[in-house]
Every structure is written in structure tokens, then in C-alpha cells.
Structure 1
């Protein structure tokens, strides 16, 4: 149940900083604020203009002690984030002052907010729909500019508008189907069956486009898994460090130094690439190294893209060629490392096992060719269509499942009409699609679902 009380929380990260914010939302926010704050020039929060700020002090109303010097802002309902009266107290950024101000607000009648409760109230009060509320967490967690752009598109209603447009088309079909069912013996103006089949086909295409956008958004959200594989001591860890611009993996001249999979994320042209440095792949009797080799093979199998590294300064070995054969149909780049030394590797043999895969020559220790590797990764994953990411939408597992459910129902309804079945069957399917899309927007959202969604938020948001 939505409790229409007043909530309070520290809305900035815990730790030292220039400013920390204590936020209140609810019908008693202004009243509680007036009991807490004394302004240097007199007056009260209730007298402040909307969207204005004023300088004052937080005073303990029980003993008159000054807690902190602050700047206070007020945003009255409905023109606020929650569509309730909101008061924000900008304190100095130390935890003691912030917690003291929040605790005093609680003593005066506020309740400490639950995780995500401010955004939850924005949804419950109709300022945003559920898909926009879920986008807030994607904005907060964005680690690249492309992730942020996609999350902001959803927050500003990009996903919502596409869903509403598709629902409108589906509703039109559903209305004609219901007319055909209710007035089957009369000419009540329902569209001919062939026209309804065509319209459902168009709906199916729109749902497919949404899922394609969602798949691109998944790449942005989860990143591209890149397995860096090769035999021991070809420079896999050096390549990881070079792409990251920092020393993350231990590098020695001793083969088999890396025993476990090390994963770090690199931001390449706005896309997160999850680089996974693996143990060198070779036959070994060492029990621990054998486990590392098994993990390397598993990483290669599960990766979206593979960087297959060979040492150009040494003759090829049977391990080099065997690893190349294991690539199978994987998307991969052949990375010839250590070209700052004379190249003696028989690269024609590599090409025989790797086919027409792109070959890039680098020196990880000198930094040569790294831009070519980055460019090659982007081209391999997006096939020159990186601009399509501008249309990507951040879709979570719940939303994707509902999109797929809607698409299946649309297909089922169209097939029912094509098979000459009664309009009742198609109408039932189309209704399922309509309701599934509505669930994305939050039209049907039980308390358990909302609690699960907003529990992922930080307190204060």
C-alpha cells in the first residue's frame, strides 16, 4: 500500500564531500523543515517561492544547538520529482551533520525512506510510468556515454512512446475483432479479415524492431564479452593492460603466470567491452594450471568475440594452431603481438586455420596497433552499424520477457486468422499482447513487483 506520509533520506553518497543533501517528500515536508531551519534573514520555508533557495542553519529544536549551516530549496506539489512537497537541505558533506539533520527530521514526524521510494512515489503519483522509473537505475549505473544516452532515452519516454504507439495499433485490431465477434451476423463495420491480418503483420514488425533495439541495448547494458586467448607467454596479459591503460594483470617472462580469468571493462567508442584475460592454453600436468586451461576454453566458448593472440617473434607451435582451430565459427581477430621484434612466426599457417579473419599486428608493450584492435572489435561486433546504438533502448529482463510475450501473442493471433479460425481466438491473443505491453508501463503492477523493482535503488532516490 502507498503510505501518504512524509519520508526523508540522505540523497548523496555517504562519505566526505563539499555538499550532502537531505531530501524530504510528503505533505509535512515544509512543516518539518520550518521546525528545523532558521534563516539568516528571517522568514520560513512556507514563505519561500517555489524552486527557490535560501541560506540558514539547521537548529536542534529540542536543545537549540546549531547543527550545520545549510542552503534550503523547496519544490511544491505537483511540480516536483515526486509530485509531492519536496524540501532539500544542502548541508556540508560530512556524514555526522547529514545524519543529525535526518534524525531530527524523523523525530519531528518524518519516516526514513525505503530504497527507491522517492522514484516509487513519482510512479505512483503518475509523473512517470514504470519503464521510466526503471530507467532511473540505468542512468545511475551508466558507465559509458552510450549507456547514459540509451538510459536517458528511456527515462525521457523513448521506450514508453514506442510501447504506447504499438498498443494503439493493437487496440485498433482488437476493437475490430470484438465487433466481428459480437455482430457476426451483421455488417457492423469491422475490417475484412485480410486487412486485420495485414495490420497484425505490421504490429509484428514493430514488436520485432523493439526487440532488436532491446538487443542493442543489452549490449550497452551488459557489455561485449571479449576472450583474450592464446598459448602461454604470447602477451595476453600485456594486451589486457595496454587496452585498459593500466597494469591490471601480472606480466612476467615465465609461461603460465596467469592461472585464473581476469575480467576488466574497457570503454571503446562508448561501448563497454568486458576484456577477459585467460590462462595460456597448453597441455600440462600441473593440476592448478590445468584448471586454468579449462577456464580459458570455457571463456573462449562463451565469449561474444575472441582476440586470438600469437607471438610474432617466435616460431609457431602446435598449441598456436590447435587454438586457432578451436575458434570454429566464433567472431575473432588474429592479434600478432611483439612485432617490435623481428617477425619469424609462419603467419601463413595461422591463416590456414583462421580463414579470412582480420589480422592485426601490435606490440602491447610499446602500444603499437592498439587503436587497430579497438577499431577491429567495434567493426566485428557492429559490422559498421555502430550508429544503430543511438536507437538502442535499455531493456531489463522483465521488460524483454513481456515484449517477447506480446510478440508471440501477435503472431498467434495473425496465424489464427490466416487459418480461418473464429475471430474469438485471435481476439484472445491480441488482448494478451495488449496487456503484456501495458505491464511494461506499469498498468498492472502488484506491490510485490514494485517492491522488487525499487529495492534495487539506493536510499534517497
Structure 2
């Protein structure tokens, strides 16, 4: 991709705002170095700002000549920079006041504040990254587990891009062959007979189509590796859901009281099981006779159960089963689930047989107390072996598509399937060529070839301003 000329120079704080050792203000564009020179005073005689070197000095307010902070400045001359443009990074001490003051000084030099994702968007437009690699940047930043980090890293290195480009080249060759048959039908028919069409059909049906489908299928099969396991805690009030949340995440995340209906909205946190992120959601207790606000929480509980990867249904074995348990069971047994027979440390009123007899759809049940650390460790191991084992055994495939990429792969697979069927039926080659072009165009959206502005806006809006 040819470089895209951006006339404006942009800047942003590239590190989280707050007290820390280092904060970074990033500037990118044709006037990056000129803007820096107006507010930077080197400690020694400047060496013409050699590229890819650190320069020690002070940020100075040019209107008062007041020194604001001692900094290290790096200058990266185009095109050897993240954006492909001249880039300056001011490494200062981190704090809200100093970062804000330096940013305002940069803006006063005629530099514009960057939009969300604009640095990476410029890297894409200048050919430093393709669109799938740009998406990997934000996924790398948001990674919460080793598995997510590995997946994003492989995509950032271009493994997905290489595969898509290889498929695209093969489709271009097929299009060229089909165009040749359309332009010179008699000559090629005499020379190749039906073998030419058979070769195209075999390439589409037996090689490209299975490969595209296999990659698309990884999204559903390995989504847990990329996005984490969505685990929902469900049950009646006061069965121990909030206590279990606190035990799993290792801190007091939810309020625990003996008063029914304390949790009225969904509380979410995360923990990690052997490199896989688990998003655990504590929900409102399900019961009849709830007030209006609590009823809204119960509706959200039931919706979250329907969307969960795994539901942990807690039952208080020191109390009898009730119609509230029946309501929960109707939703839970349709989803992957694990029943926790909680409060095993108290006198027991019901047991496993009562639960299995009343709810034949229950698949797994374990007896424990959420207040005992050994029982929590046992629960973690149960989740790993029964619900994460497949994901861990297959981790990590070369790359896993995100949802946008999966939709493009599905579109390409459908077009390839239609093309293969058309050519097998002996239909017009013009129709075959049109389907092959549709497949190629769908694959091109994965890496950003010919991507429309609205698609780019959608992708880069997910970034923070400093990236």
C-alpha cells in the first residue's frame, strides 16, 4: 500500500493518566520535530536530533522560558516509525497536571489532538499494518490472559494476513483463468477441453472452500480463548452467589449480607484459570414477590443465563427446594451448567438425590461450602477439567478470527460454494466469475484492501486516543 499523505500533525497522551514514574506525550506528522524544538531545551548541544536516539533535556514554556519538567525525548524519522510519519515521544514524569501542561504546550504549536485510534489508523494508511494487524493491536492491549496475548501476538505478526493474501492470489489466478475462457472460448476449449473447468472446480471445492470454512469455524470453537469464558452465578437470594464471586476473584467484590435481594444488578469481575480468562457475573437472586427494582435485576439475571458460556447454579442445601428453584432450573438446564450444592458446612435438608430427582436435566453437581478455600480450589479444577479442557488442549491454533473477520470468512465461503456449484452444473462462466470476485472481495476486507471509510471508522473507534 502506498503511503497516504497526512497534512496535519497530531498529538495525544499515550499512557494512562495518573501518578506514575513515566508518562508519554506522542506527536506524529510532518511538523512533529518542528513543534518539539519550540518547547524543548537539550542539556547538551543538540546533535540535529538524530533519529532513533534518546535526547535528555527540559520541556520549556516558550512564553515564559519556565522549565516544566526534565524529560527524555525520542525522535523517529519517517518512514521508520509506528505511523510511518515523523514521530516524537516526550517521556516525562507522569501526573495529571504535568501531562496536561505539556499536551497544551504541544497543541499551542498548531498541533491537533488525535482522534481515537488515529495513530494506528495512520500506520494502516501508510502501509505499516494491514487491518487485521491493526485490530490485533487493540486486542493485545486488552488481553487479560496468556492465551489472549498469544492469539493477538500471532495476528500482529501477520500470520492471518499471510494466509488471506495467499488465498487472494489463488482467487486472482482463478479469475484470470475464467476471464481467459470468456474471451477466448474456442481456442482454450480445443487446447484444454474440460480439464480447465475441472481444475478450477477442484481448486474451489476441494482446496479453497474447506480451508476458508476451517478458519471460520475456529471462531466458535475457540472463542473462549479469545474472549474468555462468560460464567454466570445464578440462584435464589442468599444461596452464596456473592460469597462465591468474592472467593473466585480473591477479593471482596460484592456485598454479602443475610438480607435477601442485596444484589439487584449484575456485578462482573475476572479471574484466570491456567491462562484462560474467566468473566464471572454475580446476578440478582431469583424469587417471587420481588419489588419493581429487584424484578428488573431478576430479568437481567435470566437474560445473562441465556447468554452464558457456563452457568453455576447455587442451591442452598440447608433449605428445601422451592418454586423459585423450579424457575431457575427451566432456564439453567438449557445451557452448559454446573450445580453447586452449597453450605455443606451446615445441617443438610436436601441432597444430590433430591436435586436429580426433581430436575432430571441437571448434568453435573458438586457439594461444597464457598467459605472453605479447599472447596473453591476444587471448584476451579472442576471448571478447568469439565468446561475448559477442550480449549486448553487445542490452544493455541495459529490464529483465531474475531467476529468481523469470521463474518467475512463466512461470506467468502458461501460465495466459493456457489461458484463451485455453478461450474459443476455447467452454468455461465460469467456467474462463476462474479461469485469468485465476491469471495475475493470478502477476504480483502479482512486485511483492509479497499475498505470503506465506515468500516475503518468502526474498527478504529475501539482504540483509545493515545493509540
Shift in alpha-carbon separation, 1:5–1:284, aligned structure 2, 3 A: closer
Which one of the candidate residues 388, 398, 417 is aligned to 2:394? Answer: 388
Shift in alpha-carbon separation, 1:100–1:255, aligned structure 2, 3 A: closer
Equivalent residue runs for 1:333-352 within 5 Å = 333-352=338-357
Shift of 1:296: 3.4
Shift of 1:246: 1.9
**TM-score, length of structure 1 as denominator length:** 0.89
Alignment partners' CA distance in 1, 2:40 and 2:229:
50
Tell me the equivalent position of 1:30: 33
Tell me the equivalent position of 2:229: 224
Alignment partners' CA distance in 2, 1:29 and 1:99:
18
CA deviation map 1:342-394 (0-9, x unaligned): 54523113223245722222210122322332233344444533242422746
Tell me the equivalent position of 2:186: 185
Aligned residues: 459
Tell me the equivalent position of 2:302: 297
Which one of the candidate residues 370, 395, 405 is aligned to 2:376? Answer: 370
Tell me the equivalent position of 2:199: 195
CA deviation map 1:244-275 (0-9, x unaligned): 22222332334444343333333333333332
Shift of 1:56: 1.0
CA deviation map 1:34-77 (0-9, x unaligned): 33322212124x242x3211211123334322222111112222
Q: Please say if residues 217 and 395 of structure 1, whose CA atoms lie closer than 8 Å, have aligned partners that are also in contact.
A: no
- Give secondary structure in 1 for the equivalent of 2:374: coil
The answer to which of 30-39 and 285-294 deviates more is 285-294
Q: Please say if residues 217 and 393 of structure 1, whose CA atoms lie closer than 8 Å, have aligned partners that are also in contact.
A: no
Alignment partners' CA distance in 2, 1:415 and 1:52:
59
Tell me the equivalent position of 2:409: 403
- Give secondary structure in 2 for the equivalent of 1:9: strand
Give the superposed CA RMSD: 2.7
CA deviation map 1:52-104 (0-9, x unaligned): 11211123334322222111112222221112222222112133333333333
Tell me the equivalent position of 1:3: 6
* Runs of 5+ consecutive residues of structure 1 not aligned to the other structure: none
Which one of the candidate residues 241, 258, 277 is aligned to 1:236? Answer: 241
Q: Please say if residues 232 and 311 of structure 2, whose CA atoms lie closer than 8 Å, have aligned partners that are also in contact.
A: yes
The answer to which of 358-367 and 54-63 deviates more is 54-63
The answer to which of 245-254 and 116-125 deviates more is 245-254
Which one of the candidate residues 211, 233, 241 is aligned to 1:206? Answer: 211
Tell me the equivalent position of 1:41: 44
* Runs of 5+ consecutive residues of structure 2 not aligned to the other structure: none
**TM-score, length of structure 2 as denominator length:** 0.88
Alignment partners' CA distance in 2, 1:171 and 1:439:
15
Alignment partners' CA distance in 1, 2:321 and 2:365:
15
